[in-house]
Chains A and B, each alone.
Chain A
């Protein structure tokens, strides 16, 4: 959950991104600073085949990689299509737009930065039923709060 006062932006590319492009983009964004929370969304890349006759067998996928963002290693679990950011204030938005333009300048597809509300502000009845009253409100609405392994914390911007 989030306080409604914080502005949010969503970075949407016309294509799904390769891990090295994600790495490049995120490192560029991290350098701008002012980011409170960040969520990478896209299609799930499971570690094992989820269904079908080969269910349970390992699923080696070239895009399920560990990337380095700032001083942290991040295990990608999705094919990144959208990056959602929560910012300290609106003054960071022009710098983010500039960074996105810079990263996607040599690509043959476009990428847009949208302003709006992209993270949940209040838990729903379904959230309460699924996760109970003590679910971590910081990540509720972004990922499954029951998931093992918390968020990656990237420090050193201040």
Chain B
């Protein structure tokens, strides 16, 4: 886990904005703030949802462990401590999320920022409707656990989807679940959401429970998505708009060597 160094020349602000949404964004990004734990999912469950290896199987490797191989004389390798996965020579694997526009607790850009501040040795990919993060397999399992167990995930409005992610911008289903063509997660009669398929859509041997969907009130209070219908409108957060306009102006004028007044 990363932590902001005490002796840094400046204090990171993480993001602009005076609204609740902006505050939520900052909270998720700030590695010194602990994310609220919402549910318990076992390590084996995580391995099942990810679908990269059988639970209990050894981690397949892409190269011999670093301790067993000759490393070139490289100054960067001396500075950077390898992660556990890199040390063991694990394969690079992924987890991908789709977040509904209906007040999901996180969203692709936010996920990437959050992960970059909180995790090491990752390669996030941000798209409009989905966000993928790649890293060494055993690191991935550790990070996935945090991404799934904490307030970054809502069982109904967030989908763990390796492929066929379509659904983030669609209407919700009657029971409040985000549309999923492969129906990886199902809302049971008892109100608990269970994954019945892994992230690429292969049926699981047993269903993996990820808890009850969070209620509308909680979602609206914890969302990191501006939404003019029913939520906080982006243009109501003057500070946020001002900041984005400033960045936009500066990068447009960049070729003319701008100087701020």
Per the bound structure, the CA–CA distance linking A44 and B166 in Å amounts to 11
- B180-198 vs A: 1/0 string, CB under 8 Å? 0111001000000000000
> Which single member of A14, A45, A107 contacts B181 (CB below 8 Å)?
A45
Q: How many residues of chain A have a CB within 8 Å of chain B?
A: 27
A contact residues around B186 at 8 Å (CB) = 62
- A1-32 vs B: 1/0 string, CB under 8 Å? 00000000000011111100100000000000
Asked if B172 lies at the interface with its beta carbon under 8 angstroms from chain A, I say: yes
Output the nearest chain B residue to A63 by Cβ-Cβ distance.
B183
Q: Chain B interface: which size bin? A: 20 to 34
Output the nearest chain A residue to B182 by Cβ-Cβ distance.
A59
The SS class assigned to the B binding surface is loop
Known contacts A44-B181, A61-B183, A63-B183; A53/B174 CB under 8 A:
no
Per the bound structure, the CA–CA distance linking A41 and B58 in Å amounts to 46
Q: How far is the CB of A95 from chain B (nearest CB, A)?
A: 24
Asked if B200 lies at the interface with its beta carbon under 8 angstroms from chain A, I say: yes
Do A54 and B174 touch (CB < 8 A)?
A: no
Q: How far is the CB of B160 from chain A (nearest CB, A)?
A: 13
> Which single member of A13, A17, A52, A62 contacts B200 (CB below 8 Å)?
A52
B contact residues around A54 at 8 Å (CB) = 163, 200-202
> Which single member of B162, B167, B172, B181 contacts A46 (CB below 8 Å)?
B181
Asked if B241 lies at the interface with its beta carbon under 8 angstroms from chain A, I say: no
Known contacts A51-B164, A53-B163, A54-B163; A16/B172 CB under 8 A:
yes
> Which single member of A43, A50, A63 contacts B170 (CB below 8 Å)?
A43
A contact residues around B203 at 8 Å (CB) = 60
A-B contact pairs, 14 of them (CB 8 A): A14-B171, A15-B173, A43-B166, A43-B179, A49-B163, A49-B201, A50-B164, A50-B181, A51-B164, A53-B200, A54-B163, A57-B201, A61-B183, A79-B179
Residues of B within 8 A of A (CB): 162-164, 166-167, 170-175, 179, 181-183, 186, 200-203
Q: Which 3 A-B pairs have the closest CB atoms?
A: A52-B163, A54-B201, A16-B173
